[in-house]
Structure 1
Amino acid sequence: MTDQNDSRTRSPTSSAAAARTAKRPSRFRFLRYAVGLVFGLAALTGVAGGLVAWHTYERYAADLPTLDVVRHYQPRVMSRVYAGDSRLLAELATERRIFVPISAIPAVVQQAFLSAEDQKFWSHRGIDPMAIARAAWFDIQQYGQGRRPIGASTITQQVAKNMLLSNEVSIARKVKELILAIRIDQSMTKEHVLELYLNEIYLGLQTYGVAAAAQAYFNKGLDELTLPEAAFLAALPKAPNNYNPFRFADAAKIRRDWVIERMAEDRAITAAQAAEAKATPIRPAAFARPETVPGAD
């Protein structure tokens, strides 16, 4: 009799416990289902993204120029007319170009351009995915505000664009540029890529390459350039006209000082060297001869 009473007394509690036990598997099954669904969707998205990327690659890769122009680079140089006594009488060219091998380009000049244009040049594989992602996010935030999209092109990408593609602003051209940059990085040494860049980049005053620019702006050879002068040349690729020291001296100095700060950030120069360089005004050689000041880029 007692056992029956005890059994009746415990039965409500036992029933509740049994109900809770029965509910647990149901909740766990839901959690497992939800987690599985999330991972399944992520995997599906990844596969779909991969297929889209592969299709995009196949679409544009078939129509790309070969790398022969880059591999067998022949610099265009100006023709010079000399007098009988070897005096230079004239230079015949619409562009000023002086080819210089990478071994003859001073380290300070190389580093100035690397700090300004591509800090990860020696480590990336032709493109910088993180820089591309940052630029894309910034452009999304600035969409509709009338601002020019910021770039994230590596030096290798700039070589691909300048030597193999047009200046068209489009997604198609950008995709081709990315593919070509990867191919260039796979088939050439970093030193060769940097040599091409430093000899082909437009730096204003109708000059292409650092050697021609050093003569045009400072009437110097590359080995004579000071740190501030090298930094100034590295400030020009993004917008040579906007940083023309003959017209926009203040803007040119601000941009040059930014390059110097980047060099210090990369530990290519000391803080003391950076401070001294930033305190140095930009003095293009033509300022001493007003009649030679160019009227346009």
Structure 2
Amino acid sequence: MQPRKQPPEQPAGGKPRPGFAPAPLRLPVPVYDNHTHFDFGDSSLGRRVGLKDALDAAEAVGVAGAVQVGCDLASSRYTVEAVEADPRVLGAVAIHPNDAPELAGATTADGVSLLDVALAEIDALAAHPRIRAIGETGLDYFRTGQEGVAGQKYSFRRHIEIAKKRSLALQIHDRDAHDDVVSVLREEGPPSCVVFHCFSGDGDLARICNENGWYMSFSGTLTFKNANNLREALAVADPALLLVETDAPFLTPHPHRGRPNASYMLPYTVQSMGQLLGRDLADMGQLLRSNTEAVYGSWAG
């Protein structure tokens, strides 16, 4: 997840708006976008993407549904609204690691940490039956300096606790923090399903994930020319632990890098994964669909 400064997607099948990419070819086996942000608005228009339009656009190219991911209280509340509004949506709720230090450093009039207040609401929101993950949470040493590490680690540990309490998957944001993320997971004891959202490691981290049964979710960054570390990781990753995502509206895959991303762009990354692994598109799609349902359960349930 990056700052909210991208415009929304165009519906598939229509005339492309200026600056938007055309829709890809339809996948032969429908898959799921396991991490996206439908609530991110168009900063130039000051409005939110229409949820139905976004999902219709995705479904038209073989993306059957998505996991809407919260990263603060506002987006986590929206996530609950989204899972109730459309059966093609499951949800994840959390406080993003970059927000955790500021919240940890502030208190209510009664002296209660604002981070603890926020985490209590995340726990309550996670009780909804269509919230299937806690995330995105984790550690980010790219945007937050040393002074924020303690707050991030405390928040991460609390999110792990909530995931285990609620028997939910854990979606991890890991940026420039691989060793510490792994250490915290081992110290706390991970929940039954751990997902490294927008996997950013190399073959070494992929092997650690293999050993622990942790899922690796690849995004459009896999298609970038300089992403040799991701291609190395994909090559050694256990196929049973592979997932795919957009992290929309960010990380648009090649050949449309630099334009707004959306769930309907997912087929580009699925195709790239299949080519790199020597799997045809149908086989790749079936694998990803099965893995995603193993983590989050059925969209119909």
Alignment TM-score > 0.5, same fold: no
State which structure, 1 or 2, has the greater radius of gyration over its C-alpha atoms.
Answer: 1
Q: Which has the higher contact order (CA 8 A, sep 6+)?
A: 2
Q: TM-score scaled to structure 2, two decimals?
A: 0.24
Q: TM-score scaled to structure 1, two decimals?
A: 0.24
Between structures 1 and 2, the one with greater helix share: 1
Between structures 1 and 2, the one with greater strand share: 2
